[in-house]
Structures are given as C-alpha cells and as structure tokens.
Amino acid sequence: MTTTEPVSKNMSSANHVKKYSSSIRFWHWANAIVISGSLITVLINSTITKGRPTATLIKNELQKAGAQVTADQARAASHALSDSVWDIHVYFGYVLAALLLFRLVMEYFQLADQKFIRSAKIVYIQYKTTKAKREQVRNQLVVKFIYATFYLLLVIMVITGLFLAFEDALVAYKSIRHSVKEVHSFCMYLILAFIVIHLAGLFLAERKEESAGIISDMINGGKN
Ligand code: HEM
C-alpha cells in the first residue's frame, strides 16, 4: 500500500513558514529588554541620582554620621553616582546599536514572506488598488507606518547616542553636541509614545477574535 506521509518529519514543518522567524522573535524580546533597561537608567538619573537633591541627601547623611562634608564634595559624589548610571545606559546603548545592525542584516536574509519592507509594500499596494476590506487594510497600513516610524526612531537614537558616547573623539563637532543631546532626549518621548501605542494596539487586537493570539505568535512564531 502506498503512503502519502512525508519522508522526513521535518518536511511538513519545512513547508510551513512561520509568521515570525526565530531571529525576529529574538530581536523583538532582546530589544524590549534593552530599551526598558535604557529607560530605567534615565528614570534613575532623573529621580534617585538627580543632582541637587542627591547632593543634599549625601551631605546630610554624612553630617549625621559625624563627617564634615562641603557642598562641593557632596555634589561631586552625587555626580559620580549619576555618571556610573550613565555608564550602564551606554552599555545598553551599545547592545541596542548591535541589535539594530542585526535587524538590518536580518531584513536582507529573511524569507521573502517575513520581510518587513516587502509586507509593508504589499499592504500599501492593496490599499491603493483594492476597495475590498478597506478599513482592515487601512488599519494594517497605519500599523506598518507606526513600525517604520519606530525603526527610524531607533536609527536616530543609535546615531545620536553613539555621537554622545564618542564625543571625545568627535571634538570637531562639539558645536552641535547640545543639539544632538536635545534630539536624543526628545526622541525618548517619541519612543515612550510608541510603547504606549504598541501596547494599546496589542490589547485591542487581542480582544478581536480573528487576531487573538498575536502575543503568543511573537513567542512561538505563529502561522503565516
Ligand atoms: C531607547 C533607547 C534610548 C533612550 C530612551 C535614551 C535616552 C537618553 C536620555 C533621556 C538621555 C539624557 C539626555 C540629556 O541629559 O539631555 C540620554 C543620554 C545619553 N545616551 Fe541615551 N538613550 C537611548 C539609547 C542610547 C544609545 C543607543 C546610546 C549609544 C551608546 C546612548 C548613549 C547616551 C549617552 C552617551 C548619553 C549622555 C550621558 C551623559 O550625559 O553622560 N543612548 N539618553
């Protein structure tokens, strides 16, 4: 009797292309951890190790313990604390830069069905040419646009961050340092806005029956 079963167990899985490759899932969760880490360092430096209040706290506590500390010494100690938090921020930054590079290289080597640029183009063409399921296609287009904006923000964050990290080697550009820092910190608010929109979008999508399970798709790969 002939059998139609696949010769190898892997054959059936080879034919089934997952919605998200293992590389993109790794990138997604690593990126989420690194961005959260970066944001936590910024939060610490704008609260716990914030200049003047921390200097006052150090001075008062040391004086209570019987030490004589000047305001300048306390300020220097507070500065050193925040510098060590910035060092951690920069380590997160290097990992984020490496992850961005990994994402760019990955886009080139991904299977066609898993490429972001390709799927964004398909949704755009669908939006331009078909009248069917107009609202659904428009929503997909908005989602792609938001992701594209996020990728652009990551690029800006990495370029400005690396500029700040290597400012000693880039003394020739000292005049733009302040503006670069402004852009870097302003983009943080846009990244925060993206995180809020992303989480709200996931929450709303999970409530719809047809797209339920999108969070687990980013864990197990999902079906294309
Ligand atoms: C999502 C990612 C990131 C967020 C939210 C973020 C946010 C910030 C913020 C708010 C500041 C303070 C700017 C100011 O004082 O006006 C800062 C400073 C800085 N960031 Fe980032 N950043 C990120 C990624 C990066 C990356 C990729 C690098 C590259 C290595 C980097 C390197 C730096 C450096 C060197 C500073 C200056 C620290 C100092 O004042 O000593 N950051 N960042």
Q: What is the pLDDT at residue 1?
A: 35
Cβ-Cβ contacts under 8 Å for 87 (sequence gap 6 or more):
none
Delimit the domains of the chain by residue range.
20-111, 115-208
Local confidence band at 16 (pLDDT 50, 70, 90 cut-offs): low
3-state secondary structure of 201: helix
CA 44–ligand 1 middle distance (angstroms)? 13
Task: Residue 155: name the closest of 88, 99, 90 by CA.
Answer: 99
At 57 the pLDDT is: 92
pLDDT of residue 49: 87
pLDDT at 7 over 70: no
Mutate to test the pocket of ligand 1, among 82, 87, 164 (most ligand atoms within 8 A of CB): 164
Whose alpha carbon is nearest atom 12 of ligand 1?
185
Per-residue pLDDT at 2: 39
pLDDT averaged over every residue in the chain: 89
pLDDT confidence bin for 223, thresholds 50/70/90: confident
| Binding site membership of 123 for ligand 1 (Cβ less than 6 Å) | no
Categorize the per-residue pLDDT at 34 as very low, low, confident or very high, splitting at 50, 70 and 90: very high
pTM, 2 dp: 0.88
So what's the pLDDT on residue 53?
A: 87
Q: Which two tokens stand for residue 185?
A: 């910190």
CA distance 26 to 32: 10
Say if residue 45's pLDDT is above 80.
yes
Residues 17 and 20: their CA atoms lie apart, in Å, by: 8
Hey, what are 28's tokens?
């997604």
Q: What is the pLDDT of residues 55-107, one digit of tens each?
A: 999 999 999 999 999 999 999 999 999 999 999 999 999 999 999 999 999 99
176: DSSP letter: G
Q: Which is the closest atom of ligand 1 to the Cα of 96?
A: 27
Helices (H), the chain: 9-15, 22-45, 51-64, 71-109, 116-129, 134-165, 177-207, 214-220
Spell out a b/e string for 167-179, using b for 16 or more CB atoms within 10 Å of the CB, else e: eeeeeeeeeeeee
116 lines ligand 1 (CB under 6 A): no
What pLDDT is stored for residue 84 in this prediction?
Answer: 96
Residue 224 near residue 113 (C-beta atoms within 8 A): yes
Spatial separation of the C-alpha atoms in residues 181 and 187, rounded to whole Å: 10
pLDDT tens track for 140-166: 999 999 999 999 999 999 999 999 999
pLDDT reading at 10 higher than 60: no
SS3 185: helix
Question: Is the pLDDT confidence value at 5 over 50?
Answer: no
* Cβ contact 144:120 at 8 Å: yes
Question: What tens digit of pLDDT does each residue of 158-210 get?
Answer: 999 999 999 999 999 999 999 999 999 999 999 999 999 999 999 998 888 77
In angstroms, the CA 119 to CA 115 distance is: 6
